[in-house]
Structure 1
Amino acid sequence: MAASSLFAALDKDGDGKVSASELRGCMAAALGEEEAAAIVAAADADGDGLLDRDEFLRLAREADQEADEDGRWRCLRVAFAMYADATAVEGEGAGQHITPASLQRMLSRLGSQEPGLDECRAMICRFDLDGDGVLSFDEFRVMMHDGLM
């Protein structure tokens, strides 16, 4: 449903504004009075206690951006897990780091010309911010954000 159609559906009295009670009425299962009032208050740019069409559309865009960001994080976590060292002993960092050996193994699986272990160490070294010889998720995120892998 497009944001403007959703706005029209929420605006039960047709006054061109969505009140907390209109929002709560349409989303009763998900929102209580306090939650609906907090959402309206946060998005109410003109302070009239209501969401006009522009305020509502701005709120909808922000919600879409948050959902996109959540999706990106999930994808990045999945990608990290593919490269992470699953051979470590459980409880000793299994799957928590990308090691030179796990990087080499994954690149080989992806059909790349298999790099040597020294090459993999060098790749990791570029983004190994704490100098421990492996990549944590945060270091992997920095690397992927820079678009270098």
Structure 2
Amino acid sequence: MAANPAPNSMYLQNIDEVRKVFQRFDSNGDGKISTEELSGVLEALGSSTSADQVAKMMAEIDTDKDGHINLEEFAAFCKGDADPYNSAEKELREAFELYDQDHDGKISAAELHLILTRLGEHCTVADCAGMISSVDSDGDGFVSFDEFKKMMTTNNAAA
């Protein structure tokens, strides 16, 4: 499972964040995300994703076709491709929209707190504001889609 570090150097800068998100999905801690875990997280986030849609998501992300998403596959999904119209970009947009509860194009500390609480995290709104400030490149107190995407792909490497 050795990775070639050269082509993935930007990705490696945010592996801790990717790992944290992966662990939220991997509810039983076995190192892989099952269809049931993916479906459960989507449901907890308020998504009414059908079993067919979850199966399609699994098929896209599970590149080794073993029926589970491992950390490497999840990281590749989070990284996305250069093509802005690819499915990874679409999935990132959908994930963003789950957090953006009022659909105003930005994630507030209150929205982040709501979602993290639904996922079983114990944090305050102030903690969430701190998380937001760490990726809020324009200083408006919210996370825009571009900031969310940047966080998920390069961890603000250009900042």
TM range (shorter): 0.3 to 0.5
The structure having more radius of gyration, on CA atoms, is: 1
User: Greater relative contact order: 1 or 2 (C-alpha under 8 angstroms, separation 6 or more)?
Assistant: 2
